Amino acid sequence: MGDPTRPDEGITTQPDLPATSPEGINKPSAEEGITTKPYPSADRNGDDAAARLMADGYRTSPDHENTGWPPGVPYIIGNEACERFSFYGMNAILAAHLASLYVQQPGMTEKMSQDAATSAVHLFKAGVYALPMIGAILAERLAGKYRTIFYLSLVYCLGHAALSLGERYLEGMFLGLALIAIGSGGIKPCVSANVGDQFGKGNWFRVRTVYQIFYFSINFGSFFSTLLIPWVQNRAGAFLIERYPGLAESFTPHSLGTSIAFGIPGVLMFIATIIFWMGRRKFVHVPPKPGGTIGLLDACSSTLLFLAIGHLFISPKLITLAGLPEAAKWPILLGVSAVFLAAGLYLFARRQTLQQDDGFLAIMLFAWKNRGHTSANAANSDSSWLERSTFWGPAVDRFGLKAAEGPVAVLKIISVFFLISVFWALFDQHSSSWIFQAGQMDLRLWGDRESFLGIGNIQLDKNQVPALNPLMVMGLIPLMNFLYLRSDRLGVATTPLRRITAGMFCAALSFVVVALLQIWIDRNESQGLPKVWFAWQIIPYLVITVAEVMVSITGLEFAYTQAPARMKSTIMGFWLLTVALGNVLVAFLAGFENLARVNFFWTFAGLSFGAALLFSLRSYFYVQKDYTQE
């Protein structure tokens, strides 16, 4: 599912990865599987291996001679499967539960409560996918990826606890969702980047496959949680009250079942945290740069500068929910942005007086102030285009070619990522507006038939229908890999940007199908005809899942390989920021109460076709350059 290839069949340990293999490395013939080669001892007598170890014995760079799988990968995959079970399990019942709380508010109709729930869910997801920028800053500048993931995972667990204990109140739900957004959002860029950090030059050809396995684990966890958690919500409360009648004094069967259903994902998140902690001695721990006091100033200034714009993902909706006058909204928003900007620039200037930085902001500011000049080496025949550039040339002289490449790579990738936000606006609706559409359909497993092959007709919960997505992902990954390989062999290269472009067109098509279904549903309701069978939603789910495999998995791989070593978590943060932008768009349009659901779907179909066309033009001119982990 939403929150990275080409083997012959499915997930295999022999991917075809010429595009991302560095320095012409040939595929090794060594035995596959987890390497048993031990890491060097922590002897600090000056040898190169020992120099790669921190004081606490953690390895700080990958073993470039290892051609097998890094030893930390199983812990990362196990952690991700449990964490995704927790997130998607909670997400499976979130929209419908929020709608049931909203409808209890004075003056709320059923449609108004569903629109409010859709807006709230996508506002929450906007937070989940905007906050990774702060998590990336903390990881790369101050704390390192491991500590960032571990400590924010504990915040994540507290969020699940708040949902379980406060599920009967909107305030309790909002507190839990805020903590989950901080925890989940903060660790997202670090987890994805931490996967790639484990690989060196010898096994870099496995990066594409590991992102497939990584993504497979996400969908493995989300499939079972999407089926199980709604079932628990509907049955666990009545089961316990029947055996322990005293519980009825404090709970209804539904409220008790809901509390348990929100609690189980919290348990899985705690297990995910333990698994990650168990792998601490197996991971490559890329240290933060610069760390210490300078790193703290970096983290604070960068976070404040990001919030100068980043708070706009959430603040407008919060002002509306607070009931403040519309005329006061923009003055408040601009004032908050100004405060964040001023504070961030002050701390950045303070940091520069202590030690000159060579990060993104420092290089950008220096290049801007000294624009109009080329590098001193620009006249050399072997000079790079950066040295010949009248904007970047002075930055190359001041910071070096390698450091100057960083901001250039970030800006190039952002230009590609921006248009993908429309894809995420479509994809994430399978957990909101598509669920409400399923609620208008016949949810019997076999439709009008009483049984099929002797199996009685089972009534599904509308919250279980999205389980179609992860189930299809697990089947489509090997199929799409097969098609990629065959296409390449026929001479039609399936580059990452081509796959993403095709995926965006598929996403638009899925909303055309959903809109047509909504027309059918509305017609049957108005004419008193039988409900449309939910199985028709299989068609748009199949199309959007094909799109997901081509966009999301490829995007994770593309984001990591295109980012310089110092900016890999930051680039993952920008990738996830596209998801936040998409969810903000959904939350915005969901606020139009007079927008019929069918028109809502048509609007997104049109936006996505337009975005896909623009993306295809941008990707045509993009020049790819891969960066391995050092």
Going by the DSSP 8-state scheme, the letter that residue 287 receives in this structure is P
Secondary structure string (H, E, C) spanning 399-459: HCHHHHHHHHHHHHHHHHHHHHHHHHHHHHHHHCHHHHHHCCCECECCCCCCEECCEECCE
- The confidence band for 29, taking pLDDT boundaries of 50, 70 and 90, is very low
Rounded to whole angstroms, the Cα distance separating 593 from 584 reads 16
pLDDT value of residue 346: 93
Given a contact cutoff of 8 angstroms between Cβ atoms, the answer to whether 216 and 5 are in contact is: no
- What lies within 8 Å, CB to CB, of 271 at 6+ separation is 82
Rounded to whole angstroms, the Cα distance separating 147 from 138 reads 9
pLDDT value of residue 216: 80
Highest mean pLDDT among 378-387, 430-439, 521-530: 521-530
pLDDT value of residue 336: 93
Residue type, 205: F
Query: Rounded mean pLDDT of the chain?
Result: 83
pLDDT in tens, 282-322: 998 888 888 889 999 999 998 999 899 888 877 877 777 67
pLDDT value of residue 362: 85
Q: Which residue has the higher pLDDT, 6 or 200?
A: 200
- The confidence band for 610, taking pLDDT boundaries of 50, 70 and 90, is very high
CA 193 to chain centre: 12
- The confidence band for 31, taking pLDDT boundaries of 50, 70 and 90, is very low
Residue 454 CB coordination number (10 Å): 5
With 0-12 / 13-18 / 19 or more C-beta atoms within 10 angstroms meaning exposed / middle / buried, residue 558 is buried
pLDDT in tens, 117-141: 888 888 898 888 888 888 888 888 8
pLDDT value of residue 238: 93
pLDDT exceeds 90 at position 241: yes
pLDDT in tens, 458-489: 889 998 999 998 889 888 888 988 898 899 89
pLDDT exceeds 50 at position 39: no
Radius of gyration of the chain (CA): 25
pLDDT value of residue 1: 53
Percent of the chain with pLDDT over 70: 88
Cis bond upstream, residue 189 (ω within 30): no
pLDDT exceeds 90 at position 4: no
pLDDT value of residue 522: 95
- For 104, the token pair is 């209890």
For the segment 379-389, the average pLDDT, to the nearest whole number, is 84
pLDDT value of residue 270: 95
pLDDT in tens, 151-169: 999 999 999 999 999 988 9
For the segment 564-592, the average pLDDT, to the nearest whole number, is 75
Residue 439 CB coordination number (10 Å): 17
Helix (H) or strand (E) holding 499: helix 496-527
> What's the full length of the chain, in residues?
630
For the segment 191-208, the average pLDDT, to the nearest whole number, is 83
Residue whose structure tokens are 């957990």: 431
Residue 36 CB coordination number (10 Å): 8
- Residue 311: how many CA atoms within 13 Å on its side-chain side? 19
- The confidence band for 420, taking pLDDT boundaries of 50, 70 and 90, is confident
Q: Which residue has the higher pLDDT, 548 or 595?
A: 548
Q: Which residue has the higher pLDDT, 18 or 550?
A: 550
CA 62 to chain centre: 25
pLDDT exceeds 50 at position 44: no
Given a contact cutoff of 8 angstroms between Cβ atoms, the answer to whether 456 and 552 are in contact is: no
pLDDT value of residue 494: 87
Residue 544 CB coordination number (10 Å): 28
- The confidence band for 8, taking pLDDT boundaries of 50, 70 and 90, is very low
Lowest mean pLDDT among 32-41, 280-289, 381-390, 567-576: 32-41
For the segment 441-461, the average pLDDT, to the nearest whole number, is 85
Domains of the chain and CATH, by start: 51-290+410-621 (1.20.1250.20), 357-399 (no CATH)
- The confidence band for 278, taking pLDDT boundaries of 50, 70 and 90, is very high
pLDDT exceeds 80 at position 201: yes
